[in-house]
Amino acid sequence: MHNIHFLAHGWRARRDAGFDREGVVAVAAALGVVWGTICEGAAIVVGYDTRFDSREDARLVAGLLASCGLEVRVSTSACPAPVLEWSVARDDSCVGGVYVSGGDYSSDYGGLMACGPDGGSPDKAFVQDVDKLIATCPSEELGPFAWVDLVDDYVGALLGEVDAGAIADLAPRVVVDSMYGTAHFVVPALLRRLGCDVIEIRAQDGSDFGGIHPEPVDPWVDACERSVRQNGADLGISFGATCRRLALVDASGRMVSTHVLPPMVLGHLVEGRGRAGRVVGTLACSARLGRQAQRLGLDCTSVPVGFSRLYDEMSDGDVLLAAEEYGGLAFPWHLAERDAILEALYILELAATSRMSVAQLVERIASQIGRMSYGREDIGLDIAKVQSFRNILPGLNPHAMAGLTPIAVSHADGLKVSFEDDSWALLRPSRTHPLVRAYAEAPTLEGKDNLLTAAEKIVRDGLAGEAAG
């Protein structure tokens, strides 16, 4: 068996480097033992995505969990991750769930992700206990489980979250791009019930995602952009494989920057729906999120990158919106996890109640909080050099970058350097890949590019100094 570690997000691996039956059995058995020991007889919900053998893997996982004295229910169809997590959170008898999925990675990957009783991240002690047990020799004894529909109740709840009448009056023509993933099982029917004219693309068998990465970013959103133009649609929405994230396309077939969506949705929650609370984002989120929070009179907290950090903040109970740097949004009163389906409904509701097109909404946000250019580059290094850079990071304190003088330097999550005009640069050694991630944002494209160049120079110069020393 390959070396397997169960982390905060669960376990994920390439099919040619560890994700196989033996690995699935080992992880599922460890999950079953821990849950069965803590909460014997409690319920667990199992869901799965559209890739390859996910359904059969879910069946195997369910049987192994059931053999540990747990009451196990398995989704009758592939389903988005938020559907599984919402189902767990709304059932007091459930202590957690398992989602068989490789996330938004290509079909070369598989994985098992776990959630806690609130549908959010499992606690650290649980993760550590599972990780310790994986190395043991698990039994392959299988127990009985039940197949259940998870979609209907979730859809009913979402219909009550938005102004269905306003959306029906607008009756927008929407391209729904399922990217061969799980959105197909929920979104098109949901939007039709809301009166939308839906054109669905990439909804066929998604066992290999048609050779694409089911991630709602360029270039994988190109098909949605073309379909919007060809069908004269009002907007298009591409959903990642698990429906944690989305990409929004305007009527001209142009993808909206991922970093515009959090402040856009935040404005609607406050000004359109009368909600209030604290905003939480990662240190790699666009400065536009903080600007919008300030404009709306809300507190905004920045935390290190990683959804588990956002989850910890949400547990305080005062958070209105939690945003990750890749655009995933969590609405704590609904679910302590990201849900791109509810996000899409709020965007449609905003368009309907404002009677503005997506392009007009984007321009309105720009007029309210200004424009910024955001970029990220991955600096490939070997593992030893990544560790060397991690070691020297605490001592780095640049006095200037790209001709700008810092107003703040933080080592809370790598190295973040901030400037007077809301420009910033961040360097973070990856925890899972042999690279250092460089992020930068500035009011202009040139300014952003200059900061990325300066950030890479810090990495190269730092490593050169380390070698010389």
- Tens digits of residue pLDDT in 29-60: 999 999 999 988 999 999 999 998 999 999 99
Give the E-state strand segments of 366-434 in sequence order: 373-380, 408-410, 415-418, 424-429
Question: What whole-number distance in Å separates Cα of residue 184 and Cα of residue 153?
Answer: 17
pLDDT of residue 2: 72
Ranges of residues in the chain whose predicted pLDDT is under 50: none
DSSP-based three-state secondary structure for 207: coil
| Helices and strands of the chain, counted as H and E runs | 15, 19
pLDDT of residue 46: 98
pLDDT of residue 444: 97
Sort strands 109-115 and 11-14 into parallel, antiparallel or unpaired: antiparallel
**Residues whose CB is less than 8 angstroms from the CB of residue 1 and which lie 6 or more positions away in sequence, other chains included:** 22, 23, 26
Per the CB < 8 A criterion, the answer to whether 42 and 93 are in contact is yes
DSSP-based three-state secondary structure for 112: strand
